[in-house]
Amino acid sequence: DTGVSQDPRHKITKRGQNVTFRCDPISEHNRLYWYRQTLGQGPEFLTYFQNEAQLEKSRLLSDRFSAERPKGSFSTLEIQRTEQGDSAMYLCASSLVPRPNSYEQYFGPGTRLTVT
């Protein structure tokens, strides 16, 4: 079990550029989540996938954000026309559901985005 991985770990971009992040979940996990964490705050839910289907999106996920999980394995999160307010840590998590008695999610190391 290699854990959840994310790439890149850090991304610096200029305002207005598009960026794409990748998440590779734990291999047998069927659910994949994206969260955003700004400085001094806890993570906030963005969206989640059950296998390849995107089943829920938060109000935080504006039209500039899009996420995919084409084959039910890895996922990508794209931000178009980045704004300075998009600067944050983007965390990916995965889980295996149903799993008796608990629903813990396992997080990756995150991608830190800085928009200049």
Partner 1 sequence: AQKITQTQPGMFVQEKEAVTLDCTYDTSDQSYGLFWYKQPSSGEMIFLIYQGSYDEQNATEGRYSLNFQKARKSANLVISASQLGDSAMYFCAMRDPNQAGTALIFGKGTTLSVSS
Q: Which of 12, 16, 18, 41 contacts partner 1 by CB under 8 A?
A: 41
Among 19, 23, 88, 91, binds partner 1 (CB under 8 A): 91
Stretch that binds partner 1, among 15-23, 61-69, 70-78, 101-109 (CB under 8 A): 101-109
Q: How does DSSP classify residue 9?
A: S
Say which residues have a Cβ less than 8 Å from residue 46's Cβ, sequence separation at least 6: 33, 34, 35, 36, 57, 58, 60, 61, 65, 67, 77
Total residues contacting partner 1 by CB under 8 A comes to 30
Neighbours of 33 (CB within 10 A): 23
Residue count of the chain: 116
- Write out the residues near partner 1 by the rule CB under 8 A: 31, 33, 35, 40-45, 48, 50, 55-56, 58, 89, 91, 93, 95, 97, 101-110, 112
